[in-house]
Structure 1
Amino acid sequence: MMKEADIRAECACGQAKLTLSGPPKTTMLCACKDCQKSTGTDHAALAIWPEDRLQFEGETTHFDTTADSGATVHRHRCTRCGTPVYGISTRLKGHRLIPLGLLGEAANQFAPKSMIFARSKYEWDHTSDGLAQYATYRDS
């Protein structure tokens, strides 16, 4: 359950900081090949936050990837330590993709509700067992 207080998060070195207000639109795991490469794991754990309820301070560098769907994802990382800070997808106008691990203990409030791109998940990863699974994007 979302607490009334804002969530403050920062990268590993403290240079890039986020303040998030209110609950995210949704939370998910994404096992697409780009998220696997970007995180170095089987999937990314993400929250989708309306950008009008997000404040950012610091500097990032970004790289862009183009998904099979044609959507472009701009992946922003801290310029100093390289921590993933947020993503912007052309499929999600007005929203940011926030890595749940960036939120520290506050991430406990936001268990992922589904896994997208489950077609790419590795057989040994059982993190998404019991979650709604989508071969690619969710229907909605």
Structure 2
Amino acid sequence: MPPMWPRASLTPMSSSEHPMIDLTARCDCGAITLTASGRVASMFQCACDNCQHVSGSGHSSVVLLPADAISVVGATKSWSRPADSGATFTRHFCPECGTTIHARSSRAPGFAILPVGLFSGQNDWFVPNQLIFARSHRDWDLIADHLPWHERYREDPQ
């Protein structure tokens, strides 16, 4: 008999329901502090191959905030790579422990991409509204069945 996995019963949020957050998080070793304060622009999961590599799982859970809504104390290191979309994707991480602090995409230069797990213990407000890059989703990675799946990016990101 297959295992019984909990199913999410949350419904996708409209853009008017995106929460305001005012949170502080630290990397694993404590060298970097990130403060995020503002209205969340989008909350989603991404199953692209790169997110799978970086997260060590089948997807990443992320939140988008306006870039000016975050501040970082401590020196990060960055890594840039070309994304499937043709954009340049840059991850900023702690050079000591490797924790991803935030990321940026040239496709959406006004936004910071934050890993929701960075706010562990204070991220109950996170309600993803879609899965992007479903084309590389792995069957063993369970995603809530109410979420819309998009093969690549959405044309009108929320």
Structure 2 length-normalised TM: 0.83
Map 1:59-70 → 2, pairs under 5 A: 59-70=75-86
Q: State how far apart, in whole Å, the 2-side matches of 1:19 and 1:66 are.
A: 27
Q: Which runs of 5+ in 1 are unaligned?
A: none
Q: 2:51 aligns with which of 23, 35, 46?
A: 35
User: How many residues matched?
Assistant: 139
Which deviations, in whole Å up to 9, do the C-alpha atoms of 1:81-110 show, x marking residues without a partner?
110110010011111100000011222101
Query: Could you give the per-residue CA deviations for residues 9-42 of structure 1, whole angstroms, max 9, x where no partner exists?
Result: 1111111111111231011101011111121211
- Contact 1:34/1:65 (CA < 8 Å) preserved in 2? no
Q: Does 1:98 align with 2:98?
A: no
Q: 1:128 to 1:117 in 2, by over 3 A?
A: farther
Whether the 8 Å CA contact 1:19–1:56 is kept in 2: the answer is yes
Q: Which amino acid aligns with 1:60?
A: T
Q: 1:9 aligns with which of 15, 25, 45?
A: 25
Q: Does 2:138 correspond to 1:122?
A: yes
Distance 2:140 2:149 in 1: 16
User: Distance in 1 between the 2:124 and 2:36 partners?
Assistant: 15
Structure number with bigger Rg: 2
Contiguous gaps of at least 5 residues in structure 2:
1-17
CA contact (8 A) 2:26 2:33 kept: yes
Identity across aligned pairs (percent)? 37
CA distance in 2, matches of 1:72, 1:129: 31
Matching residue within 89, 98, 102 for 1:82:
98
SS in structure 2 opposite 1:106? coil
Alpha-carbon distance in structure 1 between the residues aligned to 2:50 and 2:109? 20
How far apart, CA to CA, are the structure 2 residues paired with 1:65 and 1:136?
17
Alpha-carbon shift at residue 52 of structure 1 (Å): 1.2
Normalising by structure 1, report the TM-score. 0.93
Asked if 1 retains the 8 angstrom alpha-carbon contact of 2:20 and 2:37, the reply is no
